[in-house]
Amino acid sequence: MHEMSLCQSIRSAIEEQAESQKFSRVDRVKLEVGPLSGVETDALRFGFDVVMRGSIIEGAKLEIDEPPAAAWCMPCAETVPITQRYDPCPKCGSHQLQVTSGEELRIKELEVN
């Protein structure tokens, strides 16, 4: 989707942290991006380099954690792995699933100077 504008949100969130946490250089940014977050990680990497140019984040290494997606299957009453939103339950075939993870879109940690 709008990976560029997400990169801008990441930049401003880190810049706010730089002020409150007193750092002037970011060496590494670790994100958590779930497979159901609607974000294409390749596009995010591309946008990251462009958007961070001229900021304290320029040149920082970007790491992206991609946690697996899971859902709660109501008929089975247990958590099952899924890869897409429309996947049926791998055990019973039901679509009565509630996504429990995979929608993460977070800045996890920063390595700063």
Partner 1 sequence: MCSVCGCGPGEVKILDGVSEPHDHSHDHGGHHHAHGPDQARLIELEQDILAKNNAYADKNRAYLAARGVLALNLVSSPGSGKTTLLARSIEMLRDRRDVYVIEGDQQTENDAERIRAAGAPAIQINTGKGCHLDGHMVGHALEKLAPADGAVLFIENVGNLVCPAGFDLGEAHKVVILSVTEGEDKPLKYPDMFAAADLMLLNKIDLSPHLDFDDDAAIANARKVNPSIKAIKVSARSGEGMDIWLQWIEAARAMAQVGRPQAAE
Other Cβ atoms less than 10 A from the Cβ of 42: the count is 10
The string of DSSP letters for 57-88 reads TTT-EEEEE-PPEEEEETTTTEEEEESSTTPP
Site string for partner 1, 25-64 (x = CB under 8 A): --x---x----xxx--------------------------
Nearer to partner 1, 53 or 108 (CB): 108
Site string for partner 1, 92-111 (x = CB under 8 A): ---xxx-x-----xxxxxxx
Residue 112 sits in the site that holds partner 1 (CB under 8 A)? yes
| Nearest residue to 109 via CA among 8, 13, 40, 35 | 13
Cα gap 83→101, rounded to integer Å: 11
Could you list the residues that contact partner 1 (CB under 8 A)? 1-2, 5-6, 9-10, 12-13, 17, 20-23, 27, 31, 36-38, 84-86, 88, 95-97, 99, 105-113
